Amino acid sequence: MKQQQFEARYRDEWMAFEQALDVLQGKKKNITDTQQALANFPEQYRRLCHQYALARERGYGLPLIQQLNELILQGHRQLYRHRLPLLAPLMRFLLHDFPRAVREQASWNLVSGLFFVGALAFMWLLVQQQPEMVYSLLDDGTVNNIETMYDPALDTRDNRDSSDDVSMFGYYIWNNIGIAFRTFASGIFFGVGALFVELFNGAFFGAIAAHLINVGSHEPFFTFVIAHGAPELTAIVLSGGSGLRLGWALIAPGPWSRLHALQRAARKTMPVMYGAFMLLLMAAFIEAFWSPRQFDPVIKYSVGAAHWVLLYLYLLFAGRRHAA
């Protein structure tokens, strides 16, 4: 690439970097500008360093090298002068980057969700019509434990103390994130692994729900799972969608090698997976500290329904104005 083309390609980035320097050096006092400059500055600085290295490697003119070097020196002083806040990039990720990444891979999430819900519905109907079919998926011990756990006459979930809640919180984090990671990572087997995990999880949930309805323990079960089910099940579906995206990169890599296509797909899915892990943290907190509490079923169902509605409004609409 000739120097003139190089300058034309990156001139706007250099101007944006200079404007960010003006903000950080106090030449502009707008608080909003300062927050935005702090959020974008590290990435701008890294790109500038890369462009400087390219300019030197290609032997471009000394004035250009000196200009970029001066910007880097000023940027270095500002980068290590300011302690970049954790809250600002975290809020940007939650309010903009994560929901936009979810919508960007909507087709994969839809396929994952269809497999999960389809397996759930099939097993639910099958066990309701033929109750003995629950044992095709669950062994006797598991069925007995589930019946005891949700038996209305023996329900002791509200008798847990605070130490039990904390212990269960840690267990739910470990269990839920483990399921999500396996769902995502198994997509590397050309997507088949992710589909299998989605089918199994959906069938497992459907079999349990149908069996508890058959034995008359549906109310303790549904009042327990409805609130934390929104972030938990959504995160599992998103993990499956991300896994399918990995698998498709191997099946149809396009103009890239399979390794390169897999790396590109992994980079695009990571924001979704980071958000899915945060949803699972939320689900673990709700499951440990809210779900076991024995409130009136109307309250439990209302709170649970609110969780589902608010979560999907967030995923569907958050970040759209920022994108525009």
- For position 323, what pLDDT does the model report? 46
User: 82: closest CA among 54, 40, 139, 121?
Assistant: 40
Q: For the chain, give the percent of residues with pLDDT over 70.
A: 90
Query: Alpha-carbon distance 114 to 309, whole Å?
Result: 19
Q: What is the pLDDT of residues 213-271, one digit of tens each?
A: 999 998 999 999 999 999 999 999 999 999 999 999 999 998 889 999 999 999 999 99
Query: Alpha-carbon distance 285 to 260, whole Å?
Result: 38
For residue 194, name the pLDDT band (cuts at 50, 70, 90).
Answer: very high
Question: Encoding tokens for residue 267?
Answer: 């980079």
In the predicted model, is pLDDT for residue 29 greater than 70?
no
- For position 34, what pLDDT does the model report? 56
Q: Which of 81-90, 120-129, 156-165, 287-296 has the largest mean confidence?
A: 120-129
Question: Encoding tokens for residue 192?
Answer: 């088949």
234 vs 323, higher pLDDT:
234
Query: Alpha-carbon distance 321 to 324, whole Å?
Result: 5
Residue 15 φ/ψ, nearest 5 degrees: -65, -40
- Write the DSSP string, 75-110: HHHHHHHS---SHHHHHHIIIIIHHHHHHHTHHHHH
Only one residue has tokens 């101007």, namely 15
- Supply the mean pLDDT for the chain: 87
Question: Encoding tokens for residue 13?
Answer: 């980035």
Question: Encoding tokens for residue 209?
Answer: 């729900």
User: 240: closest CA among 184, 190, 199?
Assistant: 184
First to last CA, the chain: 32
Question: Encoding tokens for residue 312?
Answer: 């999907």
Task: Annotate 65-94 with b (16+ C-beta within 10 A) or e (fewer).
Answer: eeebeebbeebeebbeeeeeeeeeeeebbb
- For position 315, what pLDDT does the model report? 95
Q: What is the pLDDT of residues 83-133, one digit of tens each?
A: 555 667 788 888 899 999 999 999 999 999 999 999 999 999 999 999 999
What is the CA angle 264-269-271, rounded to 5?
120
- For position 31, what pLDDT does the model report? 47
For residue 293, name the pLDDT band (cuts at 50, 70, 90).
Answer: confident
Q: For the chain, give the percent of residues with pLDDT over 90.
A: 51
Rg of the Cα atoms in the chain: 26
Question: Encoding tokens for residue 123?
Answer: 């097993």
Q: Of 33-47, 178-192, 216-230, which range is least confident?
A: 33-47
Q: Of 135-139, 199-203, 277-281, which range is least confident?
A: 135-139
